[in-house]
Amino acid sequence: MSRKYFQVQNLLLILSFLVLPVAIQSSPEAIETVLRRLDSKRAPASAQQSAAKGVLSRLLPSHVRSFDFTIVSRDSCGGVSCFVIKSHENSSRNGPEIIIEGTTAVELASGLHWYLKYWCGAHISWDKTGGTQVASVPVPGSLPRVKDGGVVIQRPIPWNYYQNVVTSSYSYVWWDWKRWEKEIDWMALQGINLPLAFTGQESIWQKVFMDLNITAKELDNFFGGPAFLAWARMGNLHGWGGPLSQNWLDQQLNLQKQILARMLELGMTPVLPSFSGNVPAALKRIYPSAQISRLGDWNTVDGNKTWCCTYLLDPSDPLFIAIGEAFILKQIEDYLLLHILADMLITEYGNVTDIYNCDTFNENIPPTDNVTYISSVGAAVYKAMSKGNKHAVWLMQGWLFYDKSSFWKRPQMQALLHSVPLGKMIVLDLFADVKPIWKTSSQFYGTPYIWCLLHNFGGNIEMYGILDSISSRPIEARTSENSSMVGVGMCMEGIEQNPIVYELMSEMSFRSESVNALEWTKTYSRRRYGKAVDEIEAAWNILYQTIYNCTDGIAGHNHDFIVKFPQWDPSASILLDTEKQVEMQMPLLLPQNRRFLSQEKISDLPKPHLWYSPEDVIEALRLFIDAGSKLSGSLTYRYDLIDLTRQVLSKHANQLFLDALAAYQRQDARNLDIHSQKFVQLIKDIDELLASDNNFLLGTWLESAKSLASNPTDRRQYEWNARTQVTMWYDNTELLQSKLHDYANKFWSGLLKDYYLPRASTYFYYLSRSLKENAEFKLEEWEREWISYSNTWQAGTELYPVKTQGEALDIARALYNKYFN
């Protein structure tokens, strides 16, 4: 780091000040005003410094005194956010050795992480993906020095955004404060400064609607159950899995206050929800003349209105603005009231952010493509927000421009994006890793946007990623002509999978140049396990070129037969030779539905996604197993070993499934039995494998749900919600499975053995009987039997282990030898 550097930057800053007034305001400049205001809302430097210390004390308690944290101004960083890492002049064993300066506590934590990674070879990932590797960090007193006076790392773009509106349901639903605290630490270490903060909003809605004389009872049918809140918030469904108990509402609001308080201490800018028009049916009772329309069906099996077809208040109705304003104010006011009543400053909401999420049009195509109309609706949404908070900035997911691109042509897009003043809207280019919108929309017509990685659907467990895209495309986007990019972000539907993808993506918020992903992967491997192991590095080299180089444009959504079993009658259509090749890509699996749900034609046999050569990846697995003796005891290694073994076996099972179907079609009963038995055996084997690592247990998910409950009724409800989300997901009839069945499928021990296995066995039983009796395959009978089994299981309460069983390496090695040697 050098003084000279700052002087040059200051000079540039002065120059740009001179130029600014005559230049047309570009989007990064429009955002500057927002940033200045957000800076003024931030916690005092001393609070942020202690918050950063808190992160350190939870991560590496032995080294609390080794680091010194200081908040510095953006001006001293050349006008942007940055962190500085330098060695203390007189470092000692009991005093600070490393000094970290940063513009907020997030930069302090990021600087700490950067130092631990690049000087100490440490690694941080979610506990569920192996956790942290800090064994390589030297003891206090011998931390590596940072040479040449230190380093300065600037953020090339101000924001690092985090979350999808459904992550709250797929991943966070059963979290307590302890788990949230860990997550917020993780966010800070990864440099995330713009996270969604959606927890507990039902409690705010309850207050807003009850102020309008809607009863609590009437709201029972409006909110979704705990595991389905995301979709009720969006107006996709109502009542499903509900009603919410007052315990739940109160507990979630308290949790939200803790979450917000911590985010604020760390200098983050939380994104709060705002009103999109989604209202309870009872609003019609109070306001009979309000412009309320009923939305169409969203994924129910039979259009039964018990769960579907929610009500939308038209943004042109003055009531829209009144409710929108009330909701914003209620979030602020909640703080004010409690603040006056009791001095609980740090645990309430307050006037804490200017950034609000709203996705009105994600739900429904506007009734007309008239640009005057679209523009007036956009203006109304913004007005509702800005009446509650005059500095409000509207953060919108840009998914609609991809998903409903036939409606959102240039004039319509422009009408929406330009319906609010420049700088008052930020768009998320949600799927920029695969289908960037910025490129085809002239940078969202100048509207500031955030380059996002979508990556995961339904919280599925599958190894998948595009490292080359992550390491270069955000840079390409930012440096492109007239770029309006103001951040990078991660919008996965579910977290706690593929840690390599999330670590690289997070780094991109501090990278001014593209990263050599091959080199990076090598150092990743060393850091992840705490040492260099040749076999493992060779394995990661393969994975980088195969699993983590998915360039076919198909999203990361697991459709392997074990977890997403097809409803398919093999006598109705003949498997084509090409269909036996699992390699064949399936554009149908691309998410086509606005809620990121893939739709498949029941008549077609869905094909799992395979974008690499399985043989190469089997070789990577062999290398992993060979390295086992050098890495025993490493939890990061154990997680990766199991995940890779699971990946390999699951793809292998896909082939066996097709072999079984082909045998059926040849009326070859013997081979049908052989292949189907192998398929079923693989399910058992994978279950046993997953049981050896506590990150892959159904029991953990169910116990975390139950432990949030404070009475037996809630407990039963939470467990049903937890079981239903990962299996049937939504409604069914006796004969029709939910359209969303297996959307959130999970490779978890317990689920394989007790859910996926009986489903497959029953199916094969019917196939086999059809051949033996020379009768047709009774698809309907199988479905009926299977659906009834599923519904019983969803309502069940049997216990599943939360502790590991068996030795992961032994099991993985045995399975490798059994199937591939």
Ligand X SMILES: *[C@@H]1O[C@H](CO)[C@@H](O)[C@H](O)[C@H]1NC(C)=O
Stretch that binds ligand X, among 95-103, 493-501, 544-552, 675-683 (CB under 6 A): 544-552
We find the least distance from the C-beta atom of residue 92 to ligand X, in angstroms, to be: 10
Residues touching ligand X, count (CB under 6 A): 24
Residues 368-427 binding ligand X (CB under 6 A) are 370, 372-373, 389, 391
Stretch that binds ligand X, among 10-18, 166-174, 542-550, 601-609 (CB under 6 A): 542-550
Stretch that binds ligand X, among 43-51, 65-73, 528-536, 545-553 (CB under 6 A): 545-553
Among 134, 212, 618, 814, binds ligand X (CB under 6 A): 212
Site string for ligand X, 355-374 (x = CB under 6 A): ---------------x-xx-
Cα 524 to Cα 528: distance, rounded to the nearest angstrom = 6
Residues 272-291 binding ligand X (CB under 6 A) are 286
Q: Which is nearer to ligand X, 479 or 551 (CB)?
A: 551
We find the least distance from the C-beta atom of residue 390 to ligand X, in angstroms, to be: 6
Which helix (H) or strand (E) segment holds residue 450: the answer is strand 449-453
We find the least distance from the C-beta atom of residue 307 to ligand X, in angstroms, to be: 7
CB atoms within 10 A of CB 28: 17
339-353: b (≥16 Cβ within 10 Å) or e: beeeeeeeebbbebb
Q: SS3 of 634, please?
A: coil
87 DSSP β-pair partners: 98
We find the least distance from the C-beta atom of residue 215 to ligand X, in angstroms, to be: 11
Q: How many CA atoms lie within 13 A of 302 on its CB side?
A: 9
Among 174, 311, 544, 763, binds ligand X (CB under 6 A): 544
Cα 663 to Cα 665: distance, rounded to the nearest angstrom = 5
Q: Does 433 bind ligand X (CB under 6 A)?
A: no
Q: Does 736 bind ligand X (CB under 6 A)?
A: no
The number of angstroms, rounded, from the C-alpha of 29 to the middle of its chain's C-alpha atoms is 29
- What length is written for the chain? 821
The Cα-based distances of 495 to 186, 458, 725 in angstroms read: 12, 10, 16
We find the least distance from the C-beta atom of residue 216 to ligand X, in angstroms, to be: 14
Site string for ligand X, 470-509 (x = CB under 6 A): -----------xx---------------------------
Q: Does 792 bind ligand X (CB under 6 A)?
A: no
Cβ–Cβ under 8 Å, residues 437 and 402: yes
Residues 60-89 binding ligand X (CB under 6 A) are 89
396 DSSP β-pair partners: 427
Q: Are strands 311-313 and 278-279 parallel, antiparallel or unpaired?
A: antiparallel
Q: Does 551 bind ligand X (CB under 6 A)?
A: yes
We find the least distance from the C-beta atom of residue 653 to ligand X, in angstroms, to be: 25
We find the least distance from the C-beta atom of residue 627 to ligand X, in angstroms, to be: 22
Cβ–Cβ under 8 Å, residues 578 and 584: yes
Q: Does 94 bind ligand X (CB under 6 A)?
A: no
Edge-to-edge strands, sheet with 98-102: 67-71, 98-102, 82-87, 151-154
The Cα-based distances of 374 to 271, 408, 416, 422, 447 in angstroms read: 24, 10, 6, 17, 16
Site string for ligand X, 172-211 (x = CB under 6 A): ----------------------------------------
196 DSSP β-pair partners: 271
CB atoms within 10 A of CB 293: 12
Among 76, 347, 351, 585, binds ligand X (CB under 6 A): 351
Q: Which is nearer to ligand X, 372 or 603 (CB)?
A: 372
Q: Which is nearer to ligand X, 519 or 780 (CB)?
A: 519
Cα 457 to Cα 497: distance, rounded to the nearest angstrom = 11
Q: Does 468 bind ligand X (CB under 6 A)?
A: yes
End-to-end Cα separation, the chain, in angstroms: 54
We find the least distance from the C-beta atom of residue 161 to ligand X, in angstroms, to be: 21
Q: Does 332 bind ligand X (CB under 6 A)?
A: yes
Among 2, 306, 479, 516, binds ligand X (CB under 6 A): 306
446-466: b (≥16 Cβ within 10 Å) or e: bbbbbbbbbbbbbbbbbbbbb
Q: Which is nearer to ligand X, 7 or 213 (CB)?
A: 213
Q: Does 304 bind ligand X (CB under 6 A)?
A: yes
- Strand blocks (E) in 274-326: 278-279, 292-294, 311-313
Q: Which residues here bind ligand X, judged by CB under 6 A?
A: 37, 41, 89-90, 212-213, 286, 304, 306, 332, 351, 370, 372-373, 389, 391, 442, 468, 481-482, 544-545, 549, 551
